[in-house]
Amino acid sequence: MAYLQDLREKAGKAVADARSIQDKAKTEKRELTADEEKQVDGFLAEYDRLDGEITTQEKRDARSAKLEAAGRAMEERGKRKSEPQNPGNGGGRRAHEDNGDVVLEHRGVELRFGKDSPVARRCTDDYQRDFRDVLRGVEQRNLQSTIDVSGGYLITPEQMAVGILKELDDEVFIRKISTAIPVPTAQTLGIRTRTNKASTFQRGSELSDSTDDTSLKFGNKVLKPDYVTGSILVSRDLLRSAFMDPMAIVREELARDAGELEEREFLTGNGTNEPMGVFTASADGITTARDVSTGNTSTEIQWDGLIEALDNLKGKYQANATWMFHRNALTKIRKLKDGSGNYIWNPITREGMPASILGRPYILSEWVPNTFTTGQYVGIVGDFSHYVIADALEFELLVLDQTKARQNQIEVIVRRKYDAMPRLAEAFSRVKLA
């Protein structure tokens, strides 16, 4: 926590130093010199670096907390009361209790261990049963369920599936602000959309009859989850480790790998056997009518262009809107200046509040388009609760313990199903170059 606070203080200082140079020039009623511009750019680059390091450290802290929690859970699991018995006949080892300690006899040598030591816990009936079950592939810490008679084919239970999806929430930013709907049994998910508003209310007298509406119309968009596949390799040494939860690491790696694919598809997918991305112009998603190029040039985002894009949203969408840019786009936005040569954007916010652009938070992604030429998309702003993800929770795992045996690894092949698309075009504005 102290290290993270130090990073935040350094980031704040970098911004303050940049602003002090700008304020000095403004007070003296002059433009920045070339040397001052170089200094300001350096401070902003340092802010970018520190901001990225802060994000990385926050993820590390979160993962460390999960690992510590998993370790405590395993420690508690290891304290289950059970009479120590022979841990197995291999090597002729025997174990017995002596004044609360566990004494392990191996080839005529006695080794004494405290009752709470890892070795002592491994001597319990519960531990030995669980370990034998893992070796037989019947069960792995209750995180896997039915096994096919042909061997190795596993269907993850709801606990594992929910765990992976929770990890995905941490990896894919759109998931954090979108609407995700589980569809564990349905083949498709229909989304009702309003294509035309009702128009019936009008002035009348006490006895006048109301007018029946004929304007309101609804359409239907269909999400059809399709399969995606991937695989990871797990070290056998890791699976044998008593100091971490292998399945937690497997979940994290599955989420990271799947998250990279999801992020690309949620942003730029074409809607054919994959999600419809927000940067894909389509009558089934966000139409070209939601593109805003006014105020921008053919090669650069302008501050006026950002204002136009945000104001293209109705108030109810602005209130919950989020910007999305590539880091290259954010660099250009940070360098925008007013007529006096002063930087326009001020990222400083109140304590605990995220940095924002025109009062709305922003998110960076490597998958946002970043080609700065005529007619290209370079950002988007919108209410992403109107981006719908249909999750089919039939996670399937194929565990192959022989294909990578020479490398001391086990291969885990994963299949899952999902689909996604924007359900309301008017909730979004795409930033486009002129």
Residues 131 and 176 in one domain: no
Domain annotation covers residue 378: yes
- 262 within some domain: yes
For residue 127, being part of any structural domain is answered with yes
Rg of the chain (C-alpha set): 29
Phi and psi at residue 73, to the nearest 5°: -65, -40
Show the 3-state SS of 51-80: HHHHHHHHHHHHHHHHHHHHHHHHHHHHCC
Q: Are 261 and 320 contained in the same domain?
A: yes
**Inside any domain, residue 25:** no
Q: Are residues 117 and 255 in the same domain?
A: no
Helices (H) and strands (E) in the chain, counts: 11, 16
Same domain, yes or no, for 107 and 230?
Answer: no
**Residue 17 within a domain:** no
Number of domains in the chain: 2
DSSP element (H, E) containing 263: helix 246-268
| pLDDT, one tens digit for every residue, the chain (434 residues) | 677 787 788 888 888 888 888 888 888 888 888 888 888 888 887 887 787 777 777 776 776 666 666 656 655 655 544 443 443 333 444 566 777 676 666 545 566 666 666 556 656 666 555 555 544 443 333 333 333 322 333 344 445 555 555 666 556 788 889 998 887 655 666 665 555 556 656 666 666 666 666 665 545 566 777 888 877 777 777 666 645 566 666 767 777 777 888 889 999 999 988 999 999 999 889 999 999 999 999 999 999 999 999 999 999 999 999 999 999 999 999 999 988 888 898 766 566 667 899 999 999 998 999 999 999 999 999 999 999 988 875 566 677 777 777 888 888 777 778 899 998 999 999 999 99
Indicate whether 301 belongs to any domain: yes
- 59 lies in some domain: no
Residues β-bridged to residue 218: 194
Distances (CA, A) of 417 to 87, 259, 262: 43, 13, 11
Buried b (16+ CB within 10 A) or exposed e, 46-68: bbbebbeeeeeeeeeeeeeebbe
- Please provide the size of the chain in residues: 434
Residues 6+ apart with CB under 8 A from 202: 211
CA separation (Å) from 351 to 54, 177, 415? 15, 22, 42
For tokens 């204002």, name the residue: 307
Question: Residue 113 domain-assigned?
Answer: yes
| Residues of the domain holding 429 | 156-196+216-326+365-434
Rounded distance between C-alpha atoms, residue 412 and residue 284, angstroms:
36
